[in-house]
Structure formats: C-alpha cells, structure tokens
Amino acid sequence: MVDDVIDHDGPTPLYVQVADAVQARIEAGELLPNRPIPSENQLVQEYGIARGTARKSIQLLRERGLVVTVVGRGTYVVAKPSTEEK
C-alpha cells in the first residue's frame, strides 16, 4: 500500500521517497520498458503529494537514467539493453 511507502513526516524528502517507490515498481516489472509511468497528476493523487513534488520525483528518475520524457507525450521507462547480447 502507498501509505507504507511514503512517510510524510520522515527525514527523507517526499520527492526522493516517491522516486524510490516508482523505481521499485520499475525494477519489479510493474512498469515496463517503453511504457509510460504515472503522470504528475496521477502521482499527486496516488501519493498525496504536491504537483511540484511529483515533478521533482520525475526529474530525479530522469537523472537516474530510468525514464525519459517526451514533450507532449509523457514520461516513459527506458528500455534497458539486454546483457545477454554480445
């Protein structure tokens, strides 16, 4: 449950907690490569955060190399190259 993931009173900034939660969903295969992640508005609703916090979370995911934003289309999980190919 989302409330188990986000600690609104904890020492870790909310945007980091949300980015970590989305990253965990990517790593678990819940959010698939080349598919969109939840929008800013969806993150606001899902985690009970401000829109600026959602935006900063997505920015952090981009900095981590996990997602790419396509202007006017959304933010998508980056396709990881297969480590089996060589």
| Structure confidence by residue, pLDDT tens digits, 53-74 | 999 999 999 999 999 999 999 9
Concatenated DSSP letters of 30-84: SS-TTSBPPPHHHHHHHHT--HHHHHHHHHHHHHTTSEEEETTTEEEEPPPPPTT
Query: Cα separation of 30 and 13, whole Å?
Result: 24
List the CATH code of the domain at 2-77: 1.10.10.10
Residue-level pLDDT at 82: 52
Nearest-5° Cα angle at 80, 77 to 82: 150
